[in-house]
């Protein structure tokens, strides 16, 4: 059985790529740092080309598409090589498209009712977004008792300081974040710095287990 997306690494980098030519060296730096699951968000015109480039040239990366909000985007990103999908929220139409895609997906939730609705449909792995604004670790901890079968990748407002607190929760498999991708490092194409920050992030699971 293939490992869960939530178990590939403690942190999933949430990547916004403005220039598709940056995609491959950026992905290689993240993988070298120990973060193989890479979420490329559909927030820029370069996103699909970036996913295609990473899928074709960095086979050790598990590249996915983020900010997926339409069935058309599901089709386009999977065709480009996305191996998982992440949405900020979900509708019945979007969920059906993601379920039919043949790749793992994390639909976004921020309330217990949304979690229960997904559990009814057999979905147990979800994105908790926007994590800090929606109640943070306290909210997720309160869900663990009544809804222990749900597992989450919290994203939104998470950085190196609070990531261990999330990772210590029993219902959190990984977190999503951007702190290993500082804008000035990307602009300077300082992939060595990205790799170093990725390596620090990859070590957070151990810290989280000790909290």
Q: How far is CA 37 from CA 105, 111, 185, 203, 208, in A?
A: 13, 26, 20, 15, 19
Q: Under a CB-based contact definition with an 8 Å cutoff, are residues 23 and 52 in contact?
A: no
- Burial class of residue 43 (count of CB atoms within 10 Å of its CB; 0-12, 13-18, 19+): middle
Order of strands, edge to edge, in the sheet holding 11-15? 105-106, 85-86, 62-66, 37-41, 11-15, 175-177
Beta bridge partner(s), residue 13: 177
Q: What is the pLDDT of residue 205?
A: 72
Active-site residue, from 39, 125, 195, 205: 39
Asked if the model's pLDDT at residue 2 lies above 80, the reply is no
Tokens 């059906």, residue located: 96
Q: 127 an active-site residue?
A: yes
Q: Which of the four pLDDT bands, split at 50, 70 and 90, describes residue 206?
A: low
Largest CA distance in the chain: 47
Q: What does pTM read for this prediction? A: 0.95
Across residues 111-126, what is the average pLDDT?
A: 98
Q: Under a CB-based contact definition with an 8 Å cutoff, are residues 150 and 119 in contact?
A: yes
Q: What is the pLDDT of residue 70?
A: 98
Q: 195 an active-site residue?
A: no
Alpha helices in 59-157 (DSSP H): 71-80, 92-100, 112-120, 136-144
Q: What is the pLDDT of residue 56?
A: 98
Active-site residue, from 60, 125, 127, 200: 127
pLDDT tens for each residue of 151-191 = 999 999 999 999 999 999 999 999 999 999 999 999 999 99
Asked if the model's pLDDT at residue 149 lies above 90, the reply is yes
Residue that wins the pLDDT comparison between 17 and 210: 17
């Amino acid at each position: 059985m293939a490992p869960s997306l939530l178990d590939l690494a403690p942190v999933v980098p949430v990547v916004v790529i403005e220039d598709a030519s940056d995609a491959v060296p950026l992905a290689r730096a993240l993988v070298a740092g120990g973060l193989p699951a890479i979420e490329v968000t559909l927030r820029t015109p370069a996103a699909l080309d970036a996913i295609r480039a990473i899928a074709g040239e960095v086979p050790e990366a598990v590249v996915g598409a983020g900010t997926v909000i339409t069935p058309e985007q599901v089709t386009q990103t999977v065709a480009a090589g996305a191996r998982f999908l992440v949405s900020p929220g979900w509708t019945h139409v979007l969920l059906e498209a993601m379920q039919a895609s043949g790749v793992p997906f994390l639909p976004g939730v921020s309330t217990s009712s949304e979690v229960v609705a997904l559990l009814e449909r057999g979905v147990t792995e979800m994105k908790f977004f926007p994590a800090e604004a929606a109640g943070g670790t306290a909210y997720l901890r309160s869900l663990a008792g009544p809804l222990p079968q749900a597992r989450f990748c919290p994203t939104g407002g998470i950085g190196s300081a609070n990531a261990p607190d999330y990772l210590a929760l029993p219902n959190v498999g990984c977190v999503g974040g951007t702190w290993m991708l500082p804008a000035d490092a990307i602009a300077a194409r300082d992939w060595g710095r990205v790799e170093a920050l990725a390596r620090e992030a990859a070590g957070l699971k151990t810290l989280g287990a000790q909290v």
